[in-house]
Chains A and B, each alone.
Chain A
Amino acid sequence: MSFGPHLLLATLEGLVTSAVLALMALGLSLVFGVMRVVNVAHGEFFMLGAVVAWWVASIVGGHPAVGFLAALVVSPLVVAAVAFAAERLVLRRLSYEPEATIVATIGLLYIIQQLALTFYGPEARPVEAPFSIRVTLPWFGYSGYKLFVIAVAALLVVATWLMLTRTRAGLLMRATQYDRETAQAFAIPVDRVYAGVFALGAGLAAIAAVLIVPIQQAHYLMGLDPLLLSFIVVIIGGLGSLRGTVLAAVLIGLSDGIISVFFSPTLAKMLATLLVALVLVFRPQGLFGTAPR
């Protein structure tokens, strides 16, 4: 394959990574932006999403599309419910103290991971893609499902942006993000907003997992790499900045795809980590972030 088509293939692969990463990092960024909680368990919500997706698809049976659609609905709801319970039972009781919540979410990470190992097992299991169309390009054929993943993720990012900027719930979240105390002085039930945001963040991670599980398979350790990449994305984009998160996800995803194809995946991770280091040194609030009040 000549360079041009090779680059196109690498770009498409990078866009798939970007799409999933954008959804996952968006959840992490929302949680930090609104709650100022660094959710180390975010990758486990991603893993749980994939495991629940496999479980739902196995139970439903029939045409793969039916199982996949059921998973796309059920899995984010289940994961959001788990996150909601964790917020009520753990984070709220710690008064959202930054240091305490980091330790608590590390604990949550191991609890979810070990429960998955106990009840799901160590095997990697696939969920069948809802369709198997191959898009024929002049130079190569490409998975229609991967293009579907890009499209759905883009739609969900736009939907999240519309929710934040055009709805009452979004206004409450943004007000809480900018000034928690003043938000309370204007009747905003901050603790309920926090619970909703934590559940929403986990739900986005679960949707990302459902989309990726026909490509990557569900495994109880699958949350660690996306967690690391999500942190890289939100640090580069600016913690709490939706625009920065999406742009950084595209940047990291594309560079991961292209560098992995032309050089090596390890070099891609090295460069991403170097970029984070540079951002932390020269612009600690990230490309689009603002200092917390």
Chain B
Amino acid sequence: MAAALELDRINCFYGNVQVLHDVSLTLRQGEVLCLLGRNGAGKTTALKAIMGLVPVRSGTIRLGAVELTALPAHAVPAAGVAYVPQGRRLFAELTVAENLEIGLMARGKGRAVRDAVLALFPVLRERLRQVSGTLSGGEQQMLAMARALCLEPQVLLLDEPTEGLMPAMIARIRETVAGLSARGVSTVLVEQRVDAVLPVADRVAFIENGRNRETLDVERLRADPDLVHRYVGVG
């Protein structure tokens, strides 16, 4: 499979503190790649680096032929990368419709895309005029994903999308990710819980202290659960 997104030895800093050390990752077309690691391992920073929200001091990030590291942050979504941040980060005082509108504007998409996205999350159609900060946690997560999908991205970055959600909602998100993968959308999924990723991931990259220790096929991980213990401490 062709590489949809490629991180080549990227190094990132917060001030003088280095948080990513020569991280390299390859995301294939239609693949779900999970970044696993403990709190503070550098998973979220890796996603922010892809989005241009954290400066990359050295190394490159490529989306096909486009070098994302050469673009300003606001040009990255237009290139085809959508981001669902940790904690959803909705525009809480805007309505559901306005949040979706912002997603649509990012790549100049119209009503047809919005309708297709709302077909995935029908409950949002009933709440279009509701202020998004007043939605339930599960609905907020759906809106965060819907807003990102309004970009019709080639690559979707999901940062702990199952955090604090009920099992039924987690299953729903898993289904959505699998459906997107079947349509050729590549996904980078950041999680701390292994059980949340095994059913949906194709490969897992273990991030530890800002380094990519190992990237494994998910079958290999199922066969050897000790690997999970080694990097994240829990199964």
Contacts and interface: CB of A to CB of B under 8 A. Distances in A.
B102 A188 contact: yes
Interface stretch (A146-154, A168-176, A252-260): A168-176
Interface string A174-190: 11001101111111111
A179 B91 contact: yes
A190 B52 CA distance: 13
For this complex, into which size category does the number of interface residues on chain B fall?
20 to 34
Nearest to A187: B106
A174 B94 contact: yes
Contacts of A168: 105
Contact of B103 (A184, A186, A189): A186
Contacts of A183: 102
A168 B92 CA distance: 18
Interface of A: 168, 171-172, 174-175, 178-179, 181-190, 290
Given A175-B91, A178-B91, A179-B91, A187 B53 contact: no
Interface string B38-58: 000000000000011100000
B78 interface: yes
B91 A182 contact: yes
A189 B53 contact: no
B94 A185 contact: no
B74 A187 contact: yes
B94 A186 contact: no
B92 A186 contact: no
Contact of B77 (A171, A174, A186, A190): A186
Contacts of A188: 74, 102, 106
Given A182-B85, A186-B103, 20 more contacts: A171-B102, A171-B105, A174-B94, A174-B98, A175-B102, A178-B94, A179-B91, A181-B89, A182-B89, A182-B91, A184-B51, A184-B52, A184-B53, A185-B73, A186-B77, A186-B151, A187-B75, A187-B78, A187-B106, A290-B93
Interface in B71-122: 72-78, 83, 85, 89, 91-94, 98, 101-103, 105-107
A171 B106 CA distance: 12
Contacts of B151: 186
